[in-house]
Structure 1
Amino acid sequence: MLKKLLSFLLAAICAIALGGCMSDAPQTEGGYTVTDARGKTLNMKEKPKRIICTYVFADEILLDLVPHDRIVAMDKWIHDPGLSMAVESAKDVTTEVDNSPEHMISLRPDLVVVGESQIKMVQSLESAGLPVFVYKDAKLVKDIPDEIRSLGKAVGETDRAETLIAEMESRLRDIEKKVAVIPENQKRRVMLVLRFGPIGGEGNIFHDVLTRAGTIDVYNDVRPPALSGNGTSMILSKEEFVQSDPDMLIMGNWSQGGAFKDSEQQLQEMYENPAYSSMRAIRDKQVVILPQRNVNCLSHHVTEGIETVYQAIYEGKGSAS
């Protein structure tokens, strides 16, 4: 009889213990850990519901990763059609973050997403008690899938991230097929001109977009990769620009909120400047003006930019001047 009583009590104690363990499960359900670009591990109790994102290209990805009611603020440039590919998508996220710790604290975020290029702000944010995820900045098209995957892990949307990557890679393959049939001697020799001057060259997104769109970036004709960087400006001098003599200019239009001249003004000044009169693109008025977002995008929307450049150059679907 005593043995039966002891057995009953032991079973009851086990049941209570197991029940207690089971009641804790919902509190950890959905929890996960994620390691950022610094190698720092964040312990997320649940998917973040009040996200601040401070970089326009990460904003573009985030808008397609999570329901927008989980985003409390984004970089101001997400609403600028000169740079952002997601102006329409971002209409319901109206708060623009000013990158000050005081402003971010007031928004009560449960996750702040910043890029490696913004690493200087991290210490002040974490000192204020904000959870910060630093993602690895993409520099070329091939880097973007890892950026998407990283952000997907941070916000608990890994499946959605893989879907975005698959869609992006499918569109890239479609573009590659179109470009593959262009004979090498029929590829257009182009130079990209942004608000601060002619730019391009191997190792940056501008060159990557131009070449993936089936053009030849003449930047390297006058400044080979070995001469780029080394503390010098990436912007070509007037002499280098004239020497490059492209068949066509692509003007990436973005005044950066009125801080620079727009492409129409830049182009008119080129037409009126005798120093450029010998250039074929200027002489023959072979110029296409596109929003800068099409040549300077580091999100999955880069495929749209490459397609737009291809269509403008080879199908005449662009603003020619």
Structure 2
Amino acid sequence: MKKLSTLLFLLMLTIGVLAACGEQKEQVKDKSNGNSSKTEETAFPVTIKDALDNDITIKEKPEKIVSLIPSNTEIAFALGLGDEIVGVSNFDNYPKEVSTKEKIGDLNVNIEKVISLQPNLVLAHASTDLGEGLQQLKDSGLTVLVVNDAQTFDQVFDSIAMIGKATGATKEADDLIKDMQTKLAEIKDKAAKISEKKKVLVEVSGAPDIFTTGKNTFMDDMISIINAENIANDQEGWIKIDEEAMITRNPDVIITTYGFYDDKAVENVLSRVGWENVNAIKNKQVIDVDSDRVTRSGPRIVEGVEELAKAVYPEVFK
């Protein structure tokens, strides 16, 4: 069962696992999904270029929305669209209101269920291959917007701006982005004062198949933001670690992100044979963080940075 949970979690990571407004006054003139510093209100119909480079026209402000992935759902709720959301994935767990929404499947989307909910807008995601299901949704007359698979903070802001524009919540999206940018800047400013960087190893799954996060990942970006060193930064993406190499690199802090399915995650790392002389083990600096906050490319990703900062530099981020 643990092996199955680990594989499922890693699969969720690979997919990324991983807003109502008032009257619409100003016609959106461009078709890009980028973030703009100037707030615009969406007038419908509106055309948006989605992650598949398709121009998607949304004729009216959506009243019923189905979200196929948790990050899209969290963005929609943060934009005030909770009442409009009628369907979410089986993986959705935040905010608590999602528990009352219809479930439309996991990695295998129940296309028939989505169609039966008769949404005005389906929020899909570039990380999820719907296969023939995408065309089936379109053939059923549904408007499907494929949101970009964000790998950087700027791309998260783009995702928020896209969903805001598609739902008539451009002001809410703009406010949310500015708030996230402000909080992120505050964390960076505080981290910049740290003179002695700590070496960090992040574990996204435990033994025997220990996976970590290399460069060009959100977690690596977060570690850099808090002015720490990712000891797996010489590799790319999500990789299975070489235990001997990690022991030699001697991390000061070990972060685990799988405590949600392994309540002994920290205990197991602290008792790992052969790691006794690693600084993080000797000093009991093994901390589990909320996986959703540090892996989902949505509004809570900045909270994830702050949680990571508190775990690595508790004396600075109190």
Instruction: Please indicate the TM-score interval, normalised by the length of the shorter structure.
Output: 0.7 to 0.9
Aligned equivalent of 1:189: 199
- Does the residue aligned with 2:146 lie in a helix, a strand or coil? strand
- Does the residue aligned with 2:86 lie in a helix, a strand or coil? strand
Distance 1:266 1:253 in 2: 7
Distance 2:212 2:293 in 1: 14
Structure 2 residues without counterparts, runs of 5 or longer = 1-42
Moved over 3 A (4+): 90-93, 266-273
Q: Does 1:237 align with 2:248?
A: no
1:172 Cα offset (Å): 1.0
Distance 2:80 2:61 in 1: 10
More helix per residue: 1
Aligned equivalent of 1:26: none
Give the alignment partner of residue 186 of structure 2, picking from 174, 177, 191: 174
Note the alpha carbon deviations across 1:51-78, whole angstroms, 9 max, x for none: 0011111111111124322110112222
Do the aligned residues in 1 keep the contact of 2:61 with 2:168 (CA within 8 Å)? yes
Aligned equivalent of 2:121: 111
Distance 2:241 2:169 in 1: 42
Distance 2:228 2:152 in 1: 17
- Higher gyration radius (CA): 1
Give the alignment partner of residue 135 of structure 1, picking from 142, 147, 155: 147
1:92 Cα offset (Å): 6.6
- CA, structure 1 residues 167+271, in 2 after alignment: closer, same or farther (shift >3 Å)? closer
Aligned equivalent of 2:304: 305
Aligned equivalent of 1:204: 217
Distance 1:48 1:142 in 2: 25
Give the alignment partner of residue 47 of structure 1, picking from 41, 50, 61: 61
- Does the residue aligned with 1:73 lie in a helix, a strand or coil? strand
Moved more, 36-45 or 97-106: 36-45
1:206 Cα offset (Å): 1.1
1:295 Cα offset (Å): 2.3
Distance 1:42 1:215 in 2: 41
Note the alpha carbon deviations across 1:206-256, whole angstroms, 9 max, x for none: 111222123211112xxx14xx36xxx61213223323320111111355x
Q: Does 1:150 align with 2:149?
A: no
Aligned equivalent of 1:96: 103
Do the aligned residues in 1 keep the contact of 2:201 with 2:212 (CA within 8 Å)? yes
1:129 Cα offset (Å): 3.0
Distance 1:172 1:139 in 2: 16
Could you state the TM-score of these two structures normalised by the residue count of structure 2? 0.77
- CA, structure 1 residues 269+67, in 2 after alignment: closer, same or farther (shift >3 Å)? closer
- CA, structure 1 residues 294+317, in 2 after alignment: closer, same or farther (shift >3 Å)? farther
Do the aligned residues in 2 keep the contact of 1:115 with 1:134 (CA within 8 Å)? yes
Do the aligned residues in 2 keep the contact of 1:191 with 1:199 (CA within 8 Å)? yes
- CA, structure 1 residues 66+93, in 2 after alignment: closer, same or farther (shift >3 Å)? farther
Note the alpha carbon deviations across 1:22-61, whole angstroms, 9 max, x for none: xxxxxxx743222212222233221111100111111111
Aligned equivalent of 1:77: 91
Do the aligned residues in 1 keep the contact of 2:259 with 2:288 (CA within 8 Å)? no
- CA, structure 1 residues 48+91, in 2 after alignment: closer, same or farther (shift >3 Å)? same
Q: Does 1:296 align with 2:295?
A: yes
Aligned equivalent of 1:247: 252
1:169 Cα offset (Å): 0.7
Distance 1:269 1:307 in 2: 25
- Does the residue aligned with 1:181 lie in a helix, a strand or coil? coil
Aligned equivalent of 1:82: none
- CA, structure 1 residues 176+165, in 2 after alignment: closer, same or farther (shift >3 Å)? same
